[in-house]
Every structure is written in C-alpha cells, then in structure tokens.
Amino acid sequence: MSLPPLPGGAPLPGGERGSRSGWQKECGQVTLVGAGPGDPDLLTVAAVKALAAAEVVLYDALVGDGILDLSHPKAERICVGKRSGRHSLPQGEINALIAFHARRGKRVVRLKGGDPMVFGRAGEEIEHLDSLGIPVRVVPGITAALGCAASTGLSLTKRGVSRAVTFVTAHGRDGERFEPDWARLADPQGTLAIYMGREQARAVGQGLTAAGLPAGTPVLAVENGCRPDERRYRTTLGRMAEQGVAAGKGPTLLLVGEALRQRQSGTADALAGTADPLAGTADTIDLRALGDLAQGFDHD
C-alpha cells in the first residue's frame, strides 16, 4: 500500500520519511481494542470509551454489529477481516492502513475479536507502529475460552480436576502445517482451549489420543460463543478423532479435559436438555430461544 510522505525529509524506521518532531506533533493515536467474545455487554468501559472517541475503526469481520454500533456515528468503519468468502487483507496491508490513518492525525481504533493479545496478531501491529513512532495502547478484551467457560458455567480449572489451562490455535501462518507437540498438550490434569478448531477437530482427537490422553476425555465444542446463536456440542476425544465435531460454520472453540464433564445439576444442564451428554451431536443449545438468558457470555 502506498502511503503519502511525512512532513520533512528525515528517514524514519520502516522506510518512511519525515521529521521525528514534526511527526509526533501531527500523528494521531492508535488503540488496539478487544471486542470480547461477541456480546456488547461484555466490553470493558475503556473499550466503549475508545470506540465512542474513534474517528476511524478498522475491525475484524467477526466483530458483531452491536459492538460497531457503539462507535461514533461519524467514524469511518473499515472491515479488514474475512467475510463472505473474501480473504482478509494481508497483515502488512493492515499495518500500513493503521499507520496511514494515524498519520492523518486521526484517532484510530483497531478492533479485534476476543483479546488482542491472544492469537490476535497484536504484536505485529504494535511493532510496526513502534517503528514509526506512532503512539499505541491496548485495551484488553474477554478471550473466547473465558467467555465460553462463563457461558457454560464450567470452570476450566476445577479444583482437584484441572491444574492448568493451555490456549492453542488450530491455525498456523499461511501454508503452515498444524502439528503441535501432542505429548506436551496431552495432560490429563489440564484443560485445552483450542481456538478456531472445527476444521482440525479430527487431527486434534487423533493427536491427543495417540499421545496417551484417554479416548473418553470430554470435549465441548462451542460455536458462536456468547452470541444469541451460540450452540454447544458434546462428544469425547475418541469420537472426535473418528468423526470430528458436528458444529456449523461459525467460529468454534474446542474445550478438552475432565473439567468439561457435564454438571449434574443447575441452570446450564437444565438448558442443555436430556440427551446423552457424550453422544457427539445431540447436546446442542440455541440461545436465541432463551431471551434475556442469552445475553451472557463466548472469539483472532
């Protein structure tokens, strides 16, 4: 992307030109904001304030309209994420676009699903802005694993059952093979949260069972977590290795571990119905039918 030159003639890091003092006087500020798992009510106060003050909002496609509606009515909104079969902009172009609007003196919000620092490529954007001397700050958001845990009422670190939580992404860089260290991840006393895991569900099941995690280990797949159309799918690690998960096309988080065994009583179980909790596809829930109860908690 071709950007206009900066005032003055001195070179800046990253190949830009301009005087450092003049640049600092004229550039705007960039705020990386975590949009949380989908429910606008789960935004932080700082996130709402940043959106209300923004002049330019560059947002991921998974960020819901309800969250975008909190931005200033006159703010320029630019989608830089994947939608309707169109691939997201390359990261380098996103970096350049953020810098371009900051150089115009604008207050820029880079709005990311979940938390910017968890599989959100925030580090790459921060490094680029730092290299140009552009002020940047980060407003954290609720990441998908924590939102889904709250939505389902299941503790990821249940005392005596799970002593650790590991966040894993099921997607590498473009063209990178998905092949984590299964032996390290197959901890029977831990919980795995696997982001964007639907397409890799069989590989996850096969890798973990081959590394020694019992085939009967519970798996909970949460699609569109913390949104009105949230759906949950229960299965076991062994079944997932054979069949994958029956989730739809929405972003899906896989939660794996003994802490995910279905509660014996309480609201979450009552809402989930009476089907076999490990039957693979039967235990689903559509929060659109639950009214205010749907406005609870969910995703790079």
Active site residue 106: no
Kindly give, in sequence order, each residue whose CB lies less than 8 Å from that of residue 34, ignoring residues fewer than 6 positions away: 44, 47, 112, 113, 114, 115, 116, 120, 138, 139, 140, 141, 142, 143
Q: Establish how many alpha carbons lie within 13 A of residue 176's alpha carbon, considering only the half-sphere containing its beta carbon.
A: 9
Beta bridge partners of 192: 166, 256
Instruction: Determine the Cα–Cα distance for residues 35 and 87; give it in Å rounded to an integer.
Output: 20
Active site residue 82: yes
- Of the candidates 25, 41, 82, 181, the residue annotated as catalytic is 82
Instruction: Determine the Cα–Cα distance for residues 5 and 167; give it in Å rounded to an integer.
Output: 41
- Of the candidates 39, 60, 283, 300, the residue annotated as catalytic is 60
Q: Tell me the catalytic residues.
A: 60, 82
